Structure 1
Amino acid sequence: MNPETSLSEDDLRGIVWQVWTAYLHCTPEVEDSAEPMPDTADVTASVGVAGAWNGLAVIRCGLPAAGEIAGAMLDIDPANANPDDCTDALGELVNILAGNVKSLLPKPSHLSLPQVVLGRAKVVWPGTTPLHTLRATINAEPTILGVLRGDPKPT
């Protein structure tokens, strides 16, 4: 557990399991990611947290996983999920994830609106450090989920 927050890796694992089962209607395989969060992906969705604790909740995945997520959340055939469907679904999913993470953080903290980058792009967040990174699947398609902590400003 990180001394600055009560959010443990087990907490994040539980949040992912609850969100996947409730909103994606599947049981995810969740494992620690031995590799750091990649800085490129087909889809990157994030929500910022600001207040007593600063950081981000992030989901990164390939287009097949984005289609599976859109299919589950919007009740459509994943093969027919268009870019707007994927953007909407990933934005909502990361918002739900961030809201659950926020509930375990010091108060008061506030969430930003979700930001979703669709298309292979390098997306980085300067001034952050990875706190927890997990790999979860939806119908065998991998996603990377992370919580990044904002680095304190030097005094």
Structure 2
Amino acid sequence: MQTWRWKFSLGAAAALAASIALMAAVKADDLASVVAERQAGMKAMGGKLKEIKAFAESGAGQAEASADAAVLVATAKSIPGWFPVGSGLDSFSGKTAAKPEIWNDQAKFKAIAATFQADTVALQQAIAAGDKAGASSAFEAMGREGCGACHGAFRAKT
């Protein structure tokens, strides 16, 4: 009878170890997809910024800039969710530049993300009003307080 218990315990331990290994592999795949989603989102925002900057500089292309600003506003809300624990450069070296400071100083990261969100709304409103000077000012603030602040503190130099 004791041999049966020992074999059962050994089998249960092996099954538990296999389950843990499988969960770790699934989590790594999930995190890799989050990193890819984050990079695609950041690249898409960068593309939208070009048309917005053109409006802020010349006042031309208001309709395009307005549509792009709406995408920025919606996308900005996603940014905090793009950085789950384990998706930084320590786990994905060479594939991301997200520094560990994001998770070590969550309060600062979330505050900058919130500022970026507010700045995108201000930018969207200025563009919708056809206010070139206001859009230019909001664009600069967003770059300094949002993009620049976050990248300066939380993105490794590559």
Fold-level match, TM-score > 0.5? no
Give the structure with the larger strand fraction. 1
Per the normalisation by structure 1, the TM-score is 0.28
When the two structures are superposed, what TM-score results if normalisation uses the length of structure 2? 0.28
Normalized per residue, the structure richer in helix is 2
Where relative contact order (Cα < 8 A, 6+ residues apart) is larger, the structure is 1
Determine which structure has more spread, i.e. the larger CA radius of gyration: 2
